[in-house]
């Protein structure tokens, strides 16, 4: 594999990144990915009684039910709560009638919480999770969903995603229908699966960490424009900012090999979608892999061309045939230091270590989702 059709400067004994780097592939369920688990990740193991022991990053041991036991609790009328980000694209419109629609589908909730101010999100999540529910139903976009997923990492609560955002990349990676009625039906008939999360420095994210133009877009895209145009709002904002955007130098270290590249946009994906489209045919949120790729090099026209190619070709080609590096951990440094876009929210800066958190999140997904 190659990182891009235009190679960067080699900063070590290896050649173009992706061509000679060892690729970390998924192993059997009882094995660990080399380099994918670190001191911040949680180790889980079966105990034979329907529970697992989970050690969190502080070393605290807690009981975590098996997926089957958690699913049975949800189906048996266990505690479910609903949180809706009314600032998301469709949140305000659907919030008033959502509890009744869930109840009619067989998913009654015992408590409801609306987020009207993004600053209230941490406090509302804390309230929603006390006492701990069996199921947290969350309606919103990728940014607020990532906050919920981070709270539920390695916890004995499943996350049910209601796609009310603009691109809904994480929901797409879970195989959720994009229409609200279809998503509710899928959850009502769904199953509990476990999927990967990732960590960038101290921050957990669900779908993607990005560096470059996307940060400017996340900061500048008008909220009202997202409501009107949906995904098109991001494309329009990117086109407006690209002429003034400066390319940056990124130094990447994967499995001991180092590579220097120039680009306007660098992506590190945990999920299988970007901008509402599949990254590669076999990329997914349950594959124990991070996918590293850039869009173009230092030329602005190359960014546009590579983005268009990714949109058209990406969903049809496998990871092994694209400009991707797959790994469980990557170190990223940039010159100059740059901000990170984590699922649409600007948090953290380079240099940064990004690591996979395998099977860290329990989710309620459609029956057709391939839970590996």
The pLDDT of 191-212, averaged and rounded, is 96
Q: Is residue 93 a part of any domain in this protein?
A: yes
Q: Is the pLDDT of residue 110 over 50?
A: yes
Highest mean pLDDT among 11-15, 20-24, 241-245, 336-340: 336-340
Highest mean pLDDT among 148-152, 209-213, 307-311: 148-152
Q: Is the pLDDT of residue 180 over 90?
A: yes
What was the pLDDT predicted at 246? 83
Peptide bond into 336 cis (omega under 30): yes
Kindly state whether residues 213 and 254 are assigned to the same domain. Answer: yes
Q: Is residue 256 a part of any domain in this protein?
A: yes
Q: Is residue 38 a part of any domain in this protein?
A: no
Q: Is the pLDDT of residue 20 over 90?
A: no
Kindly state whether residues 224 and 285 are assigned to the same domain. Answer: yes
Residue 243 is encoded by which pair of tokens? 């002429």
Lowest-pLDDT range, 18-22, 86-90, 254-258, 343-347?
A: 18-22
Kindly state whether residues 257 and 188 are assigned to the same domain. Answer: no
What was the pLDDT predicted at 48? 33
What was the pLDDT predicted at 303? 56
Determine the Cα–Cα distance for residues 203 and 349; give it in Å rounded to an integer: 11
State the pLDDT confidence band at 309, using cuts at 50, 70 and 90: low
Q: Is residue 217 a part of any domain in this protein?
A: yes
Q: Is residue 21 a part of any domain in this protein?
A: yes
Q: Is residue 33 a part of any domain in this protein?
A: no
CA angle 297, 301, 303 (to 5 degrees): 45
State the pLDDT confidence band at 372, using cuts at 50, 70 and 90: confident
Q: Is the pLDDT of residue 111 over 80?
A: yes
Q: Is residue 301 a part of any domain in this protein?
A: yes
Kindly state whether residues 143 and 66 are assigned to the same domain. Answer: yes
114 three-state secondary structure: strand
What was the pLDDT predicted at 125? 98
What was the pLDDT predicted at 364? 98
What is the CATH classification number for the domain harbouring 53? 3.40.50.10330
Q: Is the pLDDT of residue 115 over 80?
A: yes
In our burial notation (b when 16+ CB lie closer than 10 A, e otherwise), range 133-152 reads: bbbbbbbbbbbbbbbbbbbb
What was the pLDDT predicted at 215? 75
Q: Is residue 3 a part of any domain in this protein?
A: no
Whole-angstrom CA distances from 178 to 119, 155, 167, 184, 185 are 27, 26, 10, 10, 11
Higher pLDDT, 309 or 181: 181
Q: Is the pLDDT of residue 17 over 50?
A: no
Kindly state whether residues 187 and 248 are assigned to the same domain. Answer: no
Kindly state whether residues 206 and 87 are assigned to the same domain. Answer: no
Kindly state whether residues 52 and 182 are assigned to the same domain. Answer: yes
Kindly state whether residues 186 and 299 are assigned to the same domain. Answer: no
Q: Whole-model pTM above 0.75?
A: yes
Write the CB contacts of 155 (distance below 8 Å, at least 6 apart in sequence).
Answer: 64, 132, 362
Kindly state whether residues 208 and 182 are assigned to the same domain. Answer: no
Lowest-pLDDT range, 25-39, 121-135, 299-313?
A: 25-39
What was the pLDDT predicted at 18? 34
Kindly state whether residues 169 and 117 are assigned to the same domain. Answer: yes
> How many independent structural domains does the chain possess?
2
The pLDDT of 224-241, averaged and rounded, is 55
What is the CATH classification number for the domain harbouring 234? 2.60.200.40
Kindly state whether residues 13 and 58 are assigned to the same domain. Answer: no
Q: Is the pLDDT of residue 41 over 90?
A: no
Give pLDDT tens digits for 120-153. 999 999 999 999 999 999 999 999 999 999 999 9
State the pLDDT confidence band at 277, using cuts at 50, 70 and 90: confident
57 three-state secondary structure: coil
Q: Is the pLDDT of residue 81 over 50?
A: yes
Contact 148, 122 (CB under 8 A): no
Kindly state whether residues 232 and 350 are assigned to the same domain. Answer: yes
Query: Residues of the chain with pLDDT > 70: what percent?
Result: 70
Lowest-pLDDT range, 39-53, 122-136, 206-220?
A: 39-53
Write the CB contacts of 235 (distance below 8 Å, at least 6 apart in sequence).
Answer: 275
- Which residue segment(s) compose the domain that 130 sits in? 43-195+361-365
Higher pLDDT, 50 or 121: 121
CA angle 96, 78, 362 (to 5 degrees): 85
What was the pLDDT predicted at 126? 97
> Over the chain, what is the mean pLDDT?
79
What was the pLDDT predicted at 203? 97
């Amino acid at each position: 594999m190659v990182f891009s059709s235009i190679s960067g400067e080699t900063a070590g004994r290896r050649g173009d990144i992706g061509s000679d780097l060892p690729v970390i592939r998924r192993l059997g369920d009882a094995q660990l990915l080399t380099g994918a688990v670190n001191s911040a990740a949680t180790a889980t193991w079966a105990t034979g009684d329907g529970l697992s022991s989970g050690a969190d990053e502080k070393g605290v041991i807690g009981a975590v039910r098996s997926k089957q036991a958690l699913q049975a609790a949800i189906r048996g009328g266990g505690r479910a709560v609903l949180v809706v980000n009314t600032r998301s694209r469709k949140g305000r419109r659907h919030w008033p009638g959502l509890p009744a629609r869930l109840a009619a589908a067989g998913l009654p909730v015992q408590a409801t919480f609306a987020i009207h101010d993004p600053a209230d999100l941490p406090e509302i999540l804390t309230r929603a999770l006390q006492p701990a529910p069996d199921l947290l139903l969350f309606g919103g976009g990728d940014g607020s969903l990532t906050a919920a997923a981070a709270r539920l990492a390695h916890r004995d609560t499943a996350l049910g995603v209601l796609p009310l955002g603009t691109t809904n990349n994480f929901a797409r990676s879970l195989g959720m229908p994009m229409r609200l009625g279809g998503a509710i039906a899928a959850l009502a008939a769904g199953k509990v699966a476990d999927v990967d999360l990732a960590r960038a420095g101290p921050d957990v994210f669900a779908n993607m960490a990005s560096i470059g133009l996307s940060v400017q877009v996340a900061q500048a895209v008008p909220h009202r424009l997202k409501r009107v145009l949906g995904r098109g709002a991001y494309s329009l904002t990117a086109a407006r900012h690209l002429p003034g955007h400066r390319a940056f130098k990124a130094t990447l270290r994967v499995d001991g090999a180092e590579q220097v590249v120039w680009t306007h946009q660098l992506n590190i994906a945990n999920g299988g979608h970007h901008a509402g489209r599949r990254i590669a045919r076999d990329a997914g949120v349950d594959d124990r892999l991070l996918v590293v790729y850039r869009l173009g090099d230092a030329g602005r026209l190359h960014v546009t061309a590579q983005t268009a190619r990714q949109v058209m070709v990406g969903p049809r080609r496998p990871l092994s045939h694209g400009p991707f590096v797959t790994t469980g951990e990557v170190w990223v440094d940039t010159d100059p230091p740059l901000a990170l876009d984590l699922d649409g929210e600007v948090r953290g800066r380079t240099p940064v270590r990004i690591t996979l958190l395998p099977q860290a999140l329990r989710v309620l997904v459609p029956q057709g989702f391939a839970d590996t």
